[in-house]
Amino acid sequence: MEQKILNHMEIVRRITENSINKIPEEIADIVPKGFNNNIRWNYGHIAFVQEKLVYGVLGEKLSLQSEYEEFFGAGTKPSDWKGTPPTLPEISSVLTEQTIRIREFLPGRFSEKLPNPFTNRMGITFHTLGETLLFSFYHEGLHMETINRLYRSINYK
């Protein structure tokens, strides 16, 4: 079963990677009316949250640069950014590398209890690493839909 879950993770991530590689950099920072964040924020947020839901919940050191939390952590938004965020190709590389790291890290650990139960912003409490990983697929899908809505709102031709 672990192998099927890891394969599913790669399918979900491949959809995200295919999407980011088609987005022109010049529209990545547009925040259309009715939105709080932009396309770049959503891709960076996917990477940051995946890292937190696999490594952070175990108390492991995150492999992402600290700027990812500053730019893409929960509650952040582009209007508050200080400095220059990573480019889309840089985020794409992080997403690809992250998937490889997670695939190597996870086998045999799906049932591993978290040092402390983790409750997300929706009030859902997780007790094992497998639970947080599975939730990350849902989270990634939500943000991919937001990216699609942003892209349509920008009406890029």
Cα(first)–Cα(last) distance of the chain, in Å? 42
Place of tokens 């995946």: 50
Phi first, then psi: give them for residue 55, nearest 5 degrees: -100, -45
Q: Which domain holds residue 148?
A: 2-154
Q: Where residue 33 sits, what CATH number does that domain have?
A: 1.20.120.450
pLDDT value for 102: 96
- Give pLDDT tens digits for 44-60: 999 999 999 999 999 99
pLDDT value for 148: 96
| Domain total in the chain | 1
- How confident is the model over 67-72, as a mean pLDDT? 96
- Give pLDDT tens digits for 100-140: 999 999 999 999 999 999 999 889 999 999 999 999 999 99
- Size of the chain in residues: 157
